[in-house]
Amino acid sequence: MSEISTIGWLHTLGSLPAIPAAIYMFARDGRIVPRSRPGLLYLVAMLVGAGTVFFVTREAAGYAIAVLTLLFLLIGYGVGRLPRLGRASSYVETVSLSLTAFLLMLPTATETLRRLPAEHPLVTDLQSPLLRAVHAALLGTLVVGLTIQVLRLRRQHKASEQVGGRSPK
């Protein structure tokens, strides 16, 4: 197992709070809520993690994941400031920020399986069936989670239309 550099520790420990923050918001709100305390913690941790990837990764996929994460963070945290989008902004926000959580978990799972246990890691090859299964499970979780989130948002929008005196079309 290779030693972790100082910037590697900053990357790992700086991005780690994003995981419990995301889990908390998914459990409490069904989505990542950008304008909340856990949402701010999530943003800062994700910026530290995605920003430091460029100094620690040696693989093209790492750079791509970091760029996509930063792009989806920008969209997810910025779309609420665009009044013209109306209720579509909640869908864009939710999908974008859920994608950042997925992009966080892909390398987290990969690196965890490639490094632990220290003497005999569970995965030594990126083509490992175990690693592929974990990635497939993460993708499945993303698809199911996004479906639930979109249906929930649709239900909330319909309810708010009915309360607001407008009839749904």
User: Mean pLDDT over residues 3-31, rounded?
Assistant: 95
- List pLDDT tens digits, range 145-165: 999 999 999 999 999 888 865
User: Mean pLDDT over residues 4-24, rounded?
Assistant: 96
Q: Which long-range contacts (CB under 8 A, 24 or more apart) does 53-62 make?
A: 53/11, 53/107, 55/7, 55/11, 56/5, 56/7, 56/8, 56/11, 62/107
- List pLDDT tens digits, range 122-140: 999 999 999 999 999 999 9
Angstrom CA distances, 49 to 19, 68, 132, 141, stand at 11, 13, 23, 22
- List pLDDT tens digits, range 50-86: 999 999 998 999 999 999 999 999 999 999 888 788 8
Return the number of other C-beta atoms located less than 10 Å from residue 69's C-beta. 25
d(CA 128, CA 144) in angstroms, rounded, equals 24
Band (168; pLDDT cuts 50, 70, 90) = very low
Res 81: pLDDT: 86
